[in-house]
Amino acid sequence: MRTQVGIIGAGPAGLLLSHLLHLQGIESVVLEARSREQIESTIRAGVLEQGTMDLLTETGVGDRMKAEGALHHGFELAFEGKRRRIDLTALTGKSITVYAQHEVLKDLVAARVAAGGSLYFNVSDVSIADIDTEAPSIRFVHDGVEQTLMCDFVIGCDGSQGVSRATIPAARRNDYERVFPFGWFGILVEAPPSSDELIYARHERGFALVSTRSPNVQRMYFQCDPQDSVDNWSDDRIWAEMHARVDSADGQRLIEGRIFQKTIVGMRSFVSTTMQHGRLFLAGDAAHIVPPTGAKGLNLAVSDVRILAAALRAFYREDRTDLLDAYSETALKRIWRAEHFSYWMTRMMHRLDDASPFEQRLQVSELEHVTTSRAAATAMAENYVGAAVV
């Protein structure tokens, strides 16, 4: 097999890159270990920044997002029994859309299938060779047959457990990581929305988040021990915890409903530098992870592939390599900004077991500041909707 760009991973980064390349007349093949059904049904949160919304719309895959996603012009911060709103649109002129990641994947898969794109699901035994040459290759097994994909470039969009990052020599990489001592207990609930917008809550018992998935389904989270088990949490215990952390002193209460999914996810920050070696480039979770507090994960993947698509276009149409050569440096500016914002949000909103009473009061003071100072609120809003990094 032969193509111009071989893409490993059919997550947001891989599928969107393949779509962008197709629009520029550049061939690609996407390889994915999971089935199409798996990637389209694995429910993950999705808060889309203005730039992500705009790109999906401009490239013809945003119709369902606009029709079914929830457009939000702000969010609420709950603390000390009160709620205060950050008005994103008034502060920045931009907004966000709550649209689950698996719905984005459905739209991108449909677009690639409609365009006759080469998508291989259920592949295994993936390996990458010859990245230091102008003819790298990807070996894999599909339907029991060993195959080799020859290409000009390999783009690793296969997440933190994939083969791509490990293919870059350890001597060339610096990995930076912060593992948090808490996780998020997530639930999906059959209920009407408890709020018109997202609610981020800081409470002495721990963090909580309320988000809308549809008019009838809500996603909620609360801070927990990452080693805990969902079996330890009855529905009554979950609701008692959520009410304690989110309900306000003026009588605003969460609306309960049937809980039909319970999960626990860990929290960590991670960045791998470099994001390129030879003809291999990393994008999305293969290169970086952010805690979900800042809603940056999917948006960073989109940012990465937007940069890569422009660089590959310059290579094929103008015989330029400067944008490809500068890919890591360019992408990492945005990544480190998002990592800092996500870390700041996480530290401000969560219960920190090692924090002294003094430090806990500093958290409250910070929340008072960002909800009463227009300058501080603007800085928060700019980062939340997607800060531009030059």
Q: Are 128 and 280 in contact (CB under 8 A)?
A: yes
> What strands, in cross-sheet order, belong to the sheet with 124-129?
124-129, 137-142, 145-150
Q: Which amino acid is at 178?
A: R
Can 200 be counted among the known catalytic residues?
Answer: yes
Q: Using CA atoms, how far apart are residues 271 and 283, in angstroms rounded to an integer?
A: 11
Of the listed 291, 296, 327, 350, which one is catalytic?
296
Maximum alpha-carbon separation in the chain: 65
Which residue in this structure is represented by tokens 């060779």? Answer: 129
Q: Are 216 and 192 in contact (CB under 8 A)?
A: yes
Can 94 be counted among the known catalytic residues?
Answer: no
Can 384 be counted among the known catalytic residues?
Answer: yes
Q: Are 109 and 39 in contact (CB under 8 A)?
A: yes
Which residue in this structure is represented by tokens 């893409």? Answer: 7
Of the listed 12, 291, 292, 327, which one is catalytic?
292
Q: Using CA atoms, how far apart are residues 341 and 197, in angstroms rounded to an integer?
A: 20
Can 226 be counted among the known catalytic residues?
Answer: no
Can 343 be counted among the known catalytic residues?
Answer: no
Of the listed 99, 106, 200, 291, which one is catalytic?
200
For residue 330, how far is the Cα from the chain centroid? 19
Q: Using CA atoms, how far apart are residues 339 and 13, in angstroms rounded to an integer?
A: 18
Active site residues: 72, 200, 292, 296, 384
